[in-house]
Amino acid sequence: MNILLDSAKVDFITSANEYYPIDGITTNPTILAKEKRPYIEILQEIVSIIGSEKMLHVQVLSTNAKEIVKEAEYVSQILNGNIYIKIPVVPEGFKAMMTLQKLNIKVTATAVFTPQQALMAAKAGASFVAPYVNRIDNISGDGVKVVADIVKIFDTYHIKTQVLAASFKNVEQVQKVCLAGTHGVTVSEDVFINLYHHPLTEWSVNTFIEDWESVYGKGAILGEV
């Protein structure tokens, strides 16, 4: 089960990578543009933070297969890391995926809204497919069910492509896709924080400390060596 951050905020990525067991980073043109810095500089800095083993997913902008392949080759060459090229599931995208598979460049099929799009992307050579859970919900669909259906199709036909569920507004959606068998999730900063934070955990820790200090005074257990 992979947990990735959907972010290009270097400070946040640095902190999250230090404190929590994240598996990588996903970006898209919107996320990178918000940082108002040279995008290659940001991506290189992210690789330097997470290392060469954790995943970095980078999305192309071109809508023509030939240009998509050129972008993918450029990004893969300039970034020395575990790079996945994000390609939308449009006709030119499928064509590019098949070419990139032959070039051994790893692909994440993105902007997935249906199980059949996911299946086509898997057959085209995608390593991951990224269904947009909350965006599906916003058009009166069922994002969690779409994830569950993709997982079932892949399991039924022994397809190695993994599901990287994306687009969440809350932790409940993350919990449900985990139960549905997704292989990974990519989440925003707000959702990520709520994966591990709970006010009763902080209350419990504070209570333990208060109870200890009421008898033994301030200081850690190691103070009584």
CB contact at 8 A, 144 and 121: no
> Nearest to residue 130, comparing CAs of 157, 108, 98?
108
Q: Is 86 a catalytic residue?
A: yes
Per annotation, catalytic residue among 9, 34, 36, 86: 86
Positions marked catalytic: 86
